Chain A
């Protein structure tokens, strides 16, 4: 009897075990879902951002960077470079610091770092070795001369009434020309004394690039505000002519041998070519590299070989410099770079190319303001090296396209299958403020969280935890914003164009409306434009970034004007109630964008609710929205994504400074899943576009990996689960910061008038929430 029982028990156990495998719930089973996805593909898809081998890194968007040549560590965000006349030195200026670096181009090391000698892209070198820089913020122009020991020292400085964006020397070197972006003014200075010998107005909005015609009598200025190039008479200061350029014309180079000039259009992915005599436009060169001319490569700076036969153009978003012949403009090849290459320079002998890799290793290092990289590459690049580098550069960009096998016969998840009926009719995207993954999910039972970096765990965010627990949590998701204020640019464009990438790190160097300026909207199209153009209805609750140019005309009916923008004085719960009010009225279009900003908190600023209180308010509001949606008639056709706009501060993250939160909810999402696929905002919008049957609007979206793994397949047994979600009440009472509380004095200095303008918030919040605990040394911060 006993042996019979044991046999039956064993059999039952086997049945249970074997049966469990056979009846594995597809909604919760782990990756891979693709039957033919290789182990290597899986490993690549789930690799985190950060260093990936020697001289290589994976950046937040999932692309790989592998800069070549002699790599020199320089301070954050180099934006322009120039060589000394003999090529032994390279000079570098930044958007993000006010230093000028002097680099030994042979030894590959920084010889000098001169404070208060630079600031944005104004940089020029005279034939006598004098170096000229312009500091946009302070309006100063500086001359530095080499001393007997070769070091540079400031010799002349002048302050101009404006924001000097670009400078250029006359062919003789006697004069220095300066243009100011804020007021479209320009000056001619005596290059020795800086006496003002002439002035002009550029007649365009937001002058950016400046060049001098070979004859020395005319100046050329690009304008990003109105996409023009103007030709100015040096003597009279009069504008001789104005011609259209492409979208956001940035860098400009004069080709003396061909008597032409080239203007690279960063948002248009094109090259405008002009003859100088007469001044007229020649055919524009498409640089998109795609049949449908998708923007998003961000070609922004250029440099010409001395003979004028080769044009080097930095493609910031593609992390490469591409080389073109100036006859016919065929692509010769590409040079892999670090993250976000910008400024270029060719040495006088044509044998060296300097590349400013503005974002260095893409946040792989510990601090956001990590060292960046100046690449010094020997040119022209011979074969077979050029072909190898070109293949590497292309493969680096296309890395994310290899996550999923394109030849696999498995059907796509039903919601993402364009050949099937559209089952998801509504996408709700909730955008919150400033959290890394560990700061909130350090205590989460699934996923790669580190409790040592936990700041706002489940006691403060019960709803987010429960939603993540019930549905989908992404633990390898990144907020791409390099600077905190760019967060909302990314959430509304799935990109941050070159104009705004360069602008913000310069710490108020420029007068601009930030992300609200049309120049700061990639190709002047946000996700809302893309939806509108393709007939997708949408409604905007509280987002103004990238939106303002049309908010009073084209999109006036698509905004809830009762809903405030970044007003932390209004509880997020009230904001949620406003959305729910309209939902209950049946106002629920296909794409809904909801901003819930109060988890930004006010630090310990006296008079404001405590950080814990504000995060709890924000979390409750999040839960209320998901609750209301899940009880509505639309739930079965709805997907909700909850993200943070950027990962500024809040304790850092143990994986990467950009790792952040993305939680999904909805009947068509899998249950109890943590996806470790490398995703970021472009991937999110790629997925949303697929759900709503909208094409991508730029390369970021087109190249991003769709979130295939988080959706139910739609096959029998794997259909939608419409169980509603019940939101949880806040566990933290409403309390207010008191005078004298920890970090209240530091918090008084915080700028809370707009999103993400509060540097130091991360450290403050750590101290407020974690007391005297020190963050672990391995923590990676994105704070200022």
Chain B
């Protein structure tokens, strides 16, 4: 069964969000044999006991005994370590669990329980850490007014930018550790029994995966792990040098009131305007990380396809006692996750996430098209599907409440397909994205963001201007080489012109020579500006209702559109 990429992403998102947690405090720990360390923390490292202080969280009662290397003895030791690892994992201590499993692997690298246990432990620990880090910016206070100027290369802001990079590298490392373990499990008969794998966000679990884990679950976890690798690598590849302190300050101050879209845009706009390096690819490791991320995006899709296929395959043979299983609701597939946890009551209940065939088909098609350069995928068929299913999964898991951005409506009842459809309706069909070109030629995220400038324009009443940065060079098809797939007007002339000509808002040229890409609709009444499909006839021909947009008009239109979007969410 082929499954669409957004489905896979959605599953990844679910598992990602789910997997960050640890124990269920209400369940008694797994009954495991007594270990030599009596339940105290152990890292398996030989210690230097010379000063009587062995270092943090280490065993202090290691006895110097003769080592029995018989297969039986080793097997027993391995089993004890695996059992202890399961104990820690089911009790929400994935780091401790990983160390036990890795100690077992050191004795027996082929032990499948240890392989999977180490991988899933590292994965759970990494996602838990990711969840914490995503809330961390609110804990850092950038004081004072921003300078608004480019900093000296060795200034405070640059130092911070490097720290942000290192944080994402650190996050990535955890997922990398899990990746190799997941990929090494190939046996269709693989089974991993554990009381449960709780996944926390903060002090409460959001999901506890209860039941057996089979190869299908391995693939699903691997897929979500790959998705997080893509995410961390994408961000680690970026150059964050800009006026970070002032931006952090502004964002932090706003968070108390509830971040809204315009505040976020304001902050991003400040960063973009403060330093031209911001969100370009890092010169040292940016390309390498970007490429790795794109590969992981593909891997995520492949693993999730495989996983869902295996769910269907293995489900017919297994009892309904699995952490993740497949169900049906009419013609829609249901991913049944056991279980979602109510953070307040700690009650557990299975979570069903629906995948319509349309969503699956659209996602599969996207998966195929996104690996081909030159293939422009309309927003409604690409990002809307991806983003919609991702948000839909998050909504079903009820984890959106942890996001710093306040969502004023209850979306927890929405299925991924519904969110995807909603987003698709909001964007015109001719807005597209060339994934393949992006994968083939790494570029920083900057190219995807418009240049945002906050203004207080009394004439247009606009709060800010948005302009994309594009070079003057344009390919034969009208797409600037560096635009990486953004739809640009095929025949738009790259000249500077007066803004809002013959309108009450008419403005002088501002010397900005790059109007590409921009959004232009066929219908000039839609939101106040026009969308031109990139196959539109050459300028000067065609529909007389078509008005050549200029930057000011585009800016105003975007402003209006965003307000409409915000209103839709109210």
Contact = CB atoms under 8 A, between A and B. Distances in A.
Task: Say whether chain B's binding surface is mostly helix, strand, loop, or mixed.
Answer: loop
B110 interface: no
Contacts of B147: 139, 161-163, 180, 182-183, 185, 511
B245 A535 contact: no
Contacts of A561: 128-129, 132
Contacts of B54: 535
Contacts of B150: 183
Contacts of B157: 182-183
A552 B41 contact: no
Interface in A204-253: 204-206, 225-226
A585 B97 CA distance: 13
Interface stretch (B21-29, B293-301, B423-431, B451-459): B21-29
Contacts of A553: 170
Interface stretch (A55-63, A348-356, A569-577): A569-577
Interface in B93-117: 93, 95-96
Nearest to B50: A535
A557 B151 contact: no
A127 interface: no
A548 B167 CA distance: 11
Contacts of A204: 154
B156 A552 contact: no
Contact of A538 (B56, B135, B202, B256): B56
Contacts of B92: 562, 581
A508 B253 CA distance: 13
Contact of B144 (A182, A565, A754): A182
Nearest to A754: B141
Interface string A549-567: 0001100111001111111
A472 B153 CA distance: 54
A161 B39 CA distance: 58
Contacts of A162: 147, 149
Interface in B225-254: 245-246, 249, 252-253
Contacts of A557: 43, 56-57, 95
Nearest to B143: A508
B56 A558 contact: yes
Contacts of A585: 23, 29, 39, 88, 91, 93
A486 to B, nearest CB: 13
B442 interface: no
A680 B138 CA distance: 30
Contact of A182 (B22, B154, B156, B255): B156
A136 B143 CA distance: 12
A139 B151 contact: no
B51 A535 contact: yes
B255 A512 contact: no
Nearest to B60: A537
B41 to A, nearest CB: 6
B278 to A, nearest CB: 14
B139 interface: yes
B41 A536 contact: no
B149 A185 contact: yes
Interface in B61-118: 88, 91-93, 95-96
Interface string A32-67: 000000000000000000000000000000000000
B18 to A, nearest CB: 15
> Which of B40, B56, B149: most chain A CB closer than 10 A?
B56
A239 B278 CA distance: 25
B409 interface: no
Nearest to B47: A535
Nearest to B38: A586
Contacts of A753: 138, 141, 252-253, 255-256
A757 to B, nearest CB: 7
Contacts of B146: 182, 511
A436 interface: no
A566 B29 CA distance: 30
Nearest to B245: A511
B53 A161 contact: no
B67 to A, nearest CB: 26
A757 B141 CA distance: 10
Interface in A566-607: 566-567, 570, 574-575, 577-578, 581-582, 585-587, 589
Contacts of A139: 145, 147
A585 B93 CA distance: 9
Contact of B152 (A138, A163, A183, A534): A183
B141 A185 contact: no
- The range of chain A's interface size is 35 or more
A537 B57 contact: yes
Given A163-B147, A561-B128, A562-B203, A516 B156 contact: no
A577 B25 CA distance: 9
Contact of A512 (B135, B139, B156): B156
B564 interface: no
A184 B149 contact: no
A589 B141 contact: no
A181 interface: yes
A752 B256 contact: yes
Contact of A225 (B23, B153, B159): B159
A581 B245 contact: no
A668 interface: no
- The range of chain B's interface size is 35 or more
A510 interface: yes
B155 interface: yes
Contacts of B204: 574
B312 to A, nearest CB: 35
Contacts of B51: 535
B23 A581 contact: yes
B142 interface: yes
B202 A564 contact: yes
A201 interface: yes
Contact of A575 (B58, B88, B203, B252): B203
Contact of B143 (A183, A202, A512, A586): A512
Interface in A177-209: 180-185, 201-206
A589 B203 contact: no
A181 B56 contact: no
A552 B166 contact: yes
Interface in A496-539: 508-514, 516, 532, 534-539
Contacts of B41: 586-587, 589
B203 A574 contact: yes
Interface string A359-386: 0000000000000000000000000000
Contacts of B156: 181-184, 205-206, 225, 511-512
Contacts of B43: 557
A535 B149 contact: no
A711 interface: no
B56 A589 contact: yes
Contacts of B253: 751, 753
B200 interface: yes
B408 interface: no
Nearest to A553: B170
B528 interface: no
Given A203-B152, A508-B144, A753-B141, 10 more contacts: A163-B145, A184-B154, A185-B147, A185-B149, A511-B144, A513-B140, A535-B53, A567-B135, A567-B202, A753-B252
Give the top 10 A-B pairs by smallest Cβ distance, nearest first. A535-B53, A184-B152, A586-B39, A184-B155, A201-B152, A537-B56, A183-B151, A508-B144, A511-B245, A552-B170
Interface of B: 22-23, 25, 29, 38-41, 43, 51-58, 88, 91-93, 95-96, 128-129, 132, 135-136, 138-157, 159-160, 166-167, 170, 200, 202-204, 245-246, 249, 252-253, 255-256
29 contacts: A139-B145, A181-B156, A182-B144, A182-B245, A183-B156, A184-B152, A185-B149, A201-B152, A203-B153, A226-B154, A509-B144, A511-B143, A532-B55, A534-B53, A535-B53, A537-B57, A544-B139, A553-B170, A561-B129, A562-B128, A564-B203, A574-B204, A575-B203, A578-B203, A585-B93, A589-B41, A753-B252, A753-B255, A754-B141
